[in-house]
Amino acid sequence: MKGFVFHGPGTSAWEDVAEPDLKDPADVVVRVETTSICGTDLHILQGDVPEVAAGTVLGHEAVGEIVETGREVRTVRPGDRVLVSCISACGRCRYCREGTYGQCRGGGGWLLGNRIDGAQAEYVRVPFADHSVHLLPGAVDSQDAVLFADTFPTGYEVGVLNGSVRPGDTVAVVGAGPVGLAAIVTARLYSPDRIIAVDRLPGRLESAARFGADARVLASDEPEQLVEDLTDGLGADVTIEAVGIPETFEMCTRMVRPGGHVANVGVHGKPAALHLEDLWLKDLTIRTGLVDTSSVPMLLSMLNAGRLTTSPMITHVFELEAMEEAYEVFAGAEDTGALKIALRGPQ
């Protein structure tokens, strides 16, 4: 079969690789119907994620059909259509029992396209299948569902839930990439008064408006002033950082009201300063974390019920074989306007 293989910083190729087999009785093998590319994959290609070994098939987002199940798998059978979560969960350890799958101590966590071969391929082996793949509700389209492998649960769990968004809140989302947009869509479920989107690109702010932001402001146009003006000088109840750079994290800690919540979603390559000398008076709650994907079943049923807007997020669709071209379009998002790209195998 073919897969997209990382060969060390700067080199990768869509090439022949061995088809995966079951290695453990809790595994399944999935035929990939649709996969996608994540910003994290670009970090891996640049060499920013050193634990990814050369020779690894990348990808941690997929929808597909179960073709083989290990003898311990209880929840799915060959022929089932499933969403493959970006996090694999043993289901037994203390963290998994609490739903914090990202911290799994039983051999799970972020495995696909990181510690083992991933989903940018014709077939993928998924460990701990009972807690790591989810049956698709009948009517859900695979191009919508693939967004629930990582993007939507991240915006929701690490942004909206960690930020404790409540009815009547003013929520500022800094960074309107796919994850920030998913935070905007899922924050809306909690009836905030207003959602303010901040980005450095006008195109991303247009997307934010399409996904339900009430106000939008360029990072260069004094977003802190706008938030102050809109909140009688208090600041936002919740700020969600969905960029991953020190400037925007610090902006979030300044833009939040006293007693408010800062949810850091962005993955930071460099240390960000925590100005406790200013912040101690503000009574802040600051949270951060890795996505768990424990909200996926709930998000999928809301999608099935037509309660979540997803479709405009897939801006480009390619055949699986066009993986290398898709990476170029995704990496050039500033010019191509790409948000998420779907790569389709046989359906």
Measured from the CB atom, the residue of 66 and 240 that comes closer to ligand NAD is 240
96 lies in the site for Zn ion, by CB under 5 A: yes
Q: Which does 70 bind (CB under 5 to 8 A by kind): Zn ion, ligand NAD, none?
A: none
Dihedrals phi, psi of 170, to nearest 5 degrees: -100, 125
Q: Which is nearer to ligand NAD, 221 or 324 (CB)?
A: 221
The whole-angstrom separation of Cα 52 and Cα 5 is 11
Residue 182 Cα distances to 111, 154, 218, 336, 347, angstroms: 23, 8, 19, 20, 26
- Partner interacting with residue 177 (select from Zn ion, ligand NAD, none; CB below 5-8 Å by kind): ligand NAD
CB closer to ligand NAD, 122 vs 150: 150
Select from 212, 252, 255 the least CA-distant residue to 230: 255
Q: Does 87 bind Zn ion (CB under 5 A)?
A: no
User: What is the sign, positive or negative, of the torsion defined by CA atoms of 149, 151, 157, 158?
Assistant: positive
Q: Which does 295 bind (CB under 5 to 8 A by kind): Zn ion, ligand NAD, none?
A: none
| Binding positions for ligand NAD, rule: CB under 6 A | 39-40, 150, 154, 158, 174-180, 198-201, 204, 219, 242-244, 247-248, 265-267, 290-291
Candidates 17, 93, 218, 219; binder of Zn ion (CB under 5 A) is: 93
Distances (CA, A) of 237 to 155, 170, 233, 276, 315: 17, 5, 12, 19, 32
The nearer residue to ligand NAD, 192 or 223, going by C-beta atoms, is 223
Contact of 40 with 70, CB cutoff 8 Å: no
**Out of 29, 63, 87, 104, which residue is the one contacting Zn ion (CB under 5 A)?**
104
Task: Please give the Cα distance from 23 to 185 (Å, whole number).
Answer: 38
| Closer of 98 and 319 to Zn ion (Cβ) | 98
90 binds, among Zn ion, ligand NAD, none (CB under 5 to 8 A by kind): Zn ion
Tell me if 316 sits within 8 A of 323, measured CB to CB: no
Q: Per rule CB under 5 A, is residue 106 in the interface with Zn ion?
A: yes
